């Protein structure tokens, strides 16, 4: 993929680049390639999510940016300054780890102040700066508590304050929400987004969750097998996936072989009717028979799993009211159809 910002960013006036990767590569002893010559530019003040399945190279890419993983070849520029081989502390980045990595024997305040202590900053100054940051993340009242006395969300706030105390130009977050329960995860992602906007910092966030990336990101970077498959806004990536992998990975899309080639149709834009329904579908451009294989109630909608020709797996998202008025059951034969307005062009969905 060419070195690029999202299409939305390209269409607007030029924006400064916070971090740029040029032909960045990571190969391990034995020949395995974790990251394969990727090019990427991330705008100053943006929230970027690196997204992909396990083993796709997203965390390795983040660790190379942070200086915690050596670079085999290629370059990393931070606001135009090459940092490829600089030690982590000299880069101008800070990293927030998945495990939070707080020192269990130190208070929240001392955890936050620790890096300043290592730099020889006066005790009074480092305590003041640490307290100010804890206040900013609503943790000032718990400054003397140790990590074991804090909840997961509270530990995350301390970890964030600790990362911010070095005043980084870019904050790197390695799956920071994965250790939290689902309710807290939703709450904390809203807080991350708010902090990013208030601080006017560039955040680069690794996640395997499509929902999390779409909720947080200005720019999504979808990776697979060490390469970048697509860069774009959440709307671009979800509604205009460039290939079969992105369409399937993002979810919500059915990838179907037709006489004219391979296409993708969102599962909430497919229509369904009993196989015996002969009602004319004048606006239909494609249709196919299928069999219901699974019915999942999801609250506001019902997700139907189906098997079409050649064992093609298809899903249809049916509003709860529509399902209530005409329920479907496993094993039932149905017909599916979709319109040209809801069909991604075959040339854009080629594998």
What does the pLDDT look like over 5-46, one tens digit per residue?
A: 544 544 455 789 999 999 999 999 888 999 999 999 999 999
Q: Specify the pLDDT at position 281.
A: 54
Residues 331 and 217 in one domain: no
Residues 99-110: what's their mean pLDDT?
Answer: 88
Residues 121 and 11 in one domain: yes
Question: What CATH number has the domain bearing residue 96?
Answer: 3.40.50.300
Q: Specify the pLDDT at position 147.
A: 92
What would the two tokens of residue 101 be?
Answer: 């990595």
Whether residue 180 is predicted with pLDDT greater than 90 in this model: the reply is no
Residues 227 and 302 in one domain: no
Q: Specify the pLDDT at position 262.
A: 86
Percent of all residues in the chain with a pLDDT value above 70, rounded to a whole number: 92
Confidence of residue 99 (pLDDT cuts 50, 70, 90): confident
Q: Would residue 251 be called left, alpha or beta, if left means φ above 0 and alpha means ψ between -120 and 50 degrees? A: left
Question: What CATH number has the domain bearing residue 261?
Answer: 2.40.50.100
Residues 266 and 226 in one domain: no
Q: Specify the pLDDT at position 287.
A: 82
Indicate the burial class of 133 (C-beta count within 10 angstroms; 0-12, 13-18, 19 or more): buried
Q: Which among 203, 212, 257, 208 is positioned nearest to 46, based on CA atoms?
A: 203
For residue 74, is it within any domain?
yes
Q: Specify the pLDDT at position 182.
A: 83
For residue 44, is it within any domain?
yes
Residues 127 and 179 in one domain: yes
Q: Specify the pLDDT at position 311.
A: 86
Residues 118 and 225 in one domain: yes
Residues 136 and 63 in one domain: yes
Interior angle at CA 223, CA 341 and CA 92, nearest 5 = 125
For residue 2, is it within any domain?
no
Per-residue pLDDT tens digits for 44-81: 999 999 999 999 999 999 999 999 999 999 999 999 99
Residues 221 and 257 in one domain: no
Whether residue 282 is predicted with pLDDT greater than 60 in this model: the reply is no
Question: Please, what is the average pLDDT of the chain?
Answer: 88
Q: Which of 117-121, 227-231, 327-331 has the lowest mean pLDDT?
A: 117-121
Q: Specify the pLDDT at position 10.
A: 46
Q: Specify the pLDDT at position 58.
A: 96
- What is the pTM for the complete model shown? 0.85
For residue 15, is it within any domain?
yes
CA distance 225 to 243: 14
Q: Specify the pLDDT at position 110.
A: 94
Confidence of residue 279 (pLDDT cuts 50, 70, 90): low
Say if strands 301-307 and 286-297 run parallel, antiparallel, or are unpaired: antiparallel
Q: Specify the pLDDT at position 285.
A: 60
The residue segments making up the domain with residue 104 are 7-244
Residue 4's CB is within 10 A of a number of other CB atoms, namely: 15
- Give the residue from 198, 214, 244 where a domain finishes: 244
- Give the residue from 244, 269, 303 where a domain finishes: 244
Whether residue 111 is predicted with pLDDT greater than 80 in this model: the reply is yes
Q: Specify the pLDDT at position 280.
A: 45
For residue 117, is it within any domain?
yes
For residue 133, is it within any domain?
yes
* Own/partner long-range contacts of 29-34 (Cβ < 8 Å, ≥24 apart): 33/226, 34/60, 34/226
Residues 175 and 201 in one domain: yes
What would the two tokens of residue 260 be?
Answer: 């004219």
Whether residue 102 is predicted with pLDDT greater than 50 in this model: the reply is yes
CA distance 235 to 218: 10
- Give the residue from 190, 225, 244 where a domain finishes: 244
Contact 16, 9 (CB under 8 A): no
Tell me what percent of the chain is helix, strand and coil, each rounded to the nearest 5: 30, 30, 35
For residue 302, is it within any domain?
yes
Residues 307 and 267 in one domain: yes
Residues 189 and 301 in one domain: no
Residues 188 and 308 in one domain: no
Whether residue 2 is predicted with pLDDT greater than 80 in this model: the reply is no
Residue 198's CB is within 10 A of a number of other CB atoms, namely: 9
Q: Specify the pLDDT at position 245.
A: 92
Total domains in the fold of the chain: 2
For residue 110, is it within any domain?
yes
CA distance 157 to 262: 46
Residues 203-218: what's their mean pLDDT?
Answer: 95
CA atoms within 13 A on the CB side of 90: 7
Q: Which among 222, 228, 226, 231 is positioned nearest to 36, based on CA atoms?
A: 226
């Amino acid at each position: 993929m060419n070195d690029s910002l999202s299409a939305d960013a390209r269409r607007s006036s030029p924006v400064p680049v916070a971090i740029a990767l040029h032909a960045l590569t990571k190969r391990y002893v034995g020949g395995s390639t974790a990251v394969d010559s990727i090019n990427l530019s991330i705008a100053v003040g943006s929230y970027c999510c690196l997204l992909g399945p396990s083993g796709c190279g997203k965390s390795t890419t983040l660790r190379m940016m942070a200086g915690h993983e050596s670079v085999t070849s290629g370059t990393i520029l931070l606001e135009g300054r090459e940092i490829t081989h600089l030690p982590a502390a000299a880069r101008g980045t800070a990293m927030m780890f998945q495990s939070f990595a707080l020192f269990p024997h130190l208070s929240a305040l001392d955890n936050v102040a620790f890096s300043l202590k290592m730099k020889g900053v006066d005790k009074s100054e480092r305590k003041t700066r640490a307290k100010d940051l804890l206040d900013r993340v609503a943790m000032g009242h718990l400054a003397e508590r140790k990590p074991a006395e804090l909840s997961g969300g509270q530990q995350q706030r301390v970890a964030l304050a600790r990362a911010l105390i070095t005043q980084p130009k870019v904050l790197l977050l390695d799956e920071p929400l994965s250790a939290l329960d689902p309710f807290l995860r939703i709450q904390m992602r809203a807080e991350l987004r708010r902090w990013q906007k208030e601080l006017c910092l560039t955040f680069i966030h690794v996640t395997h969750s499509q929902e999390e990336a779409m909720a947080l990101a200005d720019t999504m970077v979808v990776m697979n097998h060490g390469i970048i498959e697509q860069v774009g806004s959440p709307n671009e990536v979800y509604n205009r996936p460039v290939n079969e992998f992105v369409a399937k990975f993002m979810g919500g899309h059915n990838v179907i072989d037709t006489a004219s080639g391979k296409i993708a149709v969102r599962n909430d834009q497919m229509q369904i009717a009993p196989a015996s329904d002969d009602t004319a579908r004048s606006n239909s451009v494609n249709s196919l028979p299928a069999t219901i294989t699974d019915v999942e109630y999801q609250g506001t909608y019902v997700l139907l799993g189906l098997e079409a020709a050649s064992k093609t797996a298809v899903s249809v998202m049916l509003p709860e009211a529509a399902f209530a008025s005409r329920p479907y059951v496993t094993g039932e034969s149905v017909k599916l159809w979709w319109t040209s307005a809801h069909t991604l062009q075959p040339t854009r969905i080629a594998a």
